[in-house]
Structure 1
């Protein structure tokens, strides 16, 4: 694996069922994601894009094939080692936010850093900085129930950045948002791309392509098209 590649998959496969009920959710996919690239994986519901993202982030085990994250082959890792690698190297953003309802915005963001062993003062300082970065400094003390959907997703993005991950994996991050909130999140992803953050975003929303360096289309568990967008260069930046 080259030093410039954050994610690599070879023959990555995830199947469910057997015989007539066999479903090829991900079907022998090969993928390389260079550092600093913003990749959008698109396709209709059920095409396998979310399953692929979960395999790349170590949230699911593949049926076959190999996947590397940050130079480590993760499909053969123990659960403990895999959890440690996810904590230190991956930021996850989900459609349903997955915030803890009983914690404030700043507590949600700092939790990942605390679990990674950072000192409380350092974790709080980092969390406040990230909330300011996503435009929510004035909402730090609010519970998720007091935030709009777009604000909750921005808190989730701040949380994903808490441990300075090598890659952010986002699963339909605008799926539960209205148009105005979607634009806010898209602008934030554009800022992350410009800053050189490696991003892999799965979506059915064509607007995601506007903040991507590369777009892959999936059909029936496999890649149907892989396009490098105009104006990009080999390190993944425009």
Structure 2
């Protein structure tokens, strides 16, 4: 079953002669449990694509589906509910709430989705243990290293057991050691069957995926299946240009 689908997905910026297509009639199918990496040069549209998939931006044209539900035509309220329940976001800049402890940041999505404080706290404790931050649960984000903050952000993204996790340059602000920690967590999520879509410039991140899509000028230029998350070519799905 496909967790994510798009049909002729298009996003334009500007008007008239200055109009630019950041995403240009993209068709995408992401099966349940797949880890997909999207790579391409800066400005190619990959982050815009991720924002469209997650409902953070509205498309100019085309369709977005999460599970069996079309999302591009939802009201803002319905879309917000869907994001809380079905999508986990991991951003390059972490976006943790500075005034909340690590545990409270991880609890927050569950509370917003209507879970009890006890349920949210139990889930946060479990996730922080999984990402190696149990001993940092009561620390503020300012007291964490960059790698620890990103691990906390990953735990937060998993708080509501989302259908899909969308990660935008998750290692972009991290050093080598912290990147290694994040790669380990993504590998564990992949092994557990979590659906992941990761936008990245980092070939080490892309090599852990089941599938790699390359973008240029808002379009997919190739779509490659990888073997065992090792970066070895398993078979070319499609190639344009």
Residue 44 (structure 1) shift: 1.0
Q: CA RMSD in A?
A: 1.1
- Aligned to 1:128, which of 119, 125, 129? 125
Give the structure 2 partner of residue 184 of structure 1. Answer: 181
Cα distance in 2 between the residues matched to 1:82 and 1:136: 31
SS of alignment partner, residue 208 of structure 1: helix
The answer to whether the Cα contact below 8 Å between 1:70 and 1:89 also exists between their aligned partners in 2 is no
Cα distance in 2 between the residues matched to 1:231 and 1:75: 33
Alignment TM-score, normalising by the size of structure 2: 0.94
Cα distance in 2 between the residues matched to 1:125 and 1:9: 35
- Larger RCO: 1 or 2 (CA < 8 Å, sep 6+): 1
Alignment TM-score, normalising by the size of structure 1: 0.95
Unaligned runs of 5+ in 2: 235-241
SS of alignment partner, residue 114 of structure 2: coil
Give the structure 2 partner of residue 208 of structure 1. Answer: 205
- Aligned to 1:78, which of 75, 78, 103? 75
- The total of aligned residue pairs comes to 230
Residue 33 (structure 1) shift: 0.2
- Aligned to 2:54, which of 31, 45, 57? 57
Cα distance in 1 between the residues matched to 2:73 and 2:51: 15
Give the structure 1 partner of residue 2 of structure 2. Answer: 5
Cα distance in 2 between the residues matched to 1:30 and 1:192: 25
Residue 210 (structure 1) shift: 2.1
Spell out structure 1 runs of 4+ moving beyond 3 A. Answer: none
1:198 to 2:188 alignment: no
Give the structure 1 partner of residue 237 of structure 2. Answer: none
